[in-house]
Amino acid sequence: MQKRNYSRELEETLGTLRAREDAGEGRKRLLLHVCCAPCSSYVLEYLREYFDVTVYYYNPNITEATEYEKRLQEEQRLIQEYNNQVERGAFEGMHSTARAGRIDFLPAPYDPERYLEEVRGLENCREGGSRCEVCFRLRLSRTAEAARNGGYDFFTTSLTISPLKNAPLLNEIGEEQGRLWGVPFLPSDFKKKDGYKRSIELSGMFSLYRQNYCGCVFSRREAAERQDKAMRDA
């Protein structure tokens, strides 16, 4: 089977939506699941040109409450920065235009117990293995449900910006959940077209907190092991 190019599919969808908006159809509403401020920085810069975006913060995989709170606050600070730009009509250093819209924020309740229950038995999987697939499905399923309940036109996730995440798998799960909940999943591979590079630039520009592990306590342990090994090998 031919490999899908999710980045190109996104561009084609955005082109169609732009033409419809220009023809007077109105702007579509997108519920964007975000994992953290650095990953969402580029995704928001890009998508706010095309959608009325609401950021959905559902990350029960961040098993430590202090870390969860820190990432949540950084996300809110970033959104505030972006909304200030829209209010001022000034976008210094940004790849933004007058089409950039305000961004809303919708935090979900924090339920790490649900995540730990879902991944029981998979604690020792390496990052990128079957524990992550369960984690993606949990977050995208809840996002699709929220999109259906809120009457959104599309939903998607910032997770495909990470070079460590399996973008085809995320798109497959997103489409599966979209079918289940009756809301189209917006395809993406945000790391492409220098998206990942741009997220690093934007993180520097806004001095965003960048964590060195994915989120769960297991990925934190794996990151610490990597660091120890690097120090031993140095």
- Which parts of this chain interact with ligand SF4 (CB under 6 A)? 61, 127, 131-132, 135, 214-216, 218-219
Q: Which is nearer to ligand SF4, 125 or 200 (CB)?
A: 125
Q: Which is nearer to ligand SF4, 96 or 219 (CB)?
A: 219
Nearest approach, Cβ of residue 144 and ligand SF4 (Å):
17
Q: Which is nearer to ligand SF4, 30 or 135 (CB)?
A: 135
Nearest approach, Cβ of residue 133 and ligand SF4 (Å):
8
Nearest approach, Cβ of residue 38 and ligand SF4 (Å):
14
Helices (H), 106-210: 112-118, 130-150, 167-181, 195-205
Contact by Cβ (8 Å): 89, 186: no
- Helices and strands, number each (H, E), in the chain: 8, 4
The Cβ of residue 130 has, within 10 Å, a number of other Cβ atoms equal to 12
Indicate the length of the chain as a whole number: 234
Gap between the terminal Cα atoms of the chain: 44
Question: What does the alpha-carbon distance between residue 219 and residue 226 come to, in Å, rounded to a whole number?
Answer: 10
Contact by Cβ (8 Å): 186, 154: yes
Nearest approach, Cβ of residue 66 and ligand SF4 (Å):
16
DSSP label of 40 = H
Q: Which is nearer to ligand SF4, 183 or 216 (CB)?
A: 216
Nearest approach, Cβ of residue 135 and ligand SF4 (Å):
3
Residue with tokens 């809301």: 183
Q: Which is nearer to ligand SF4, 203 or 219 (CB)?
A: 219
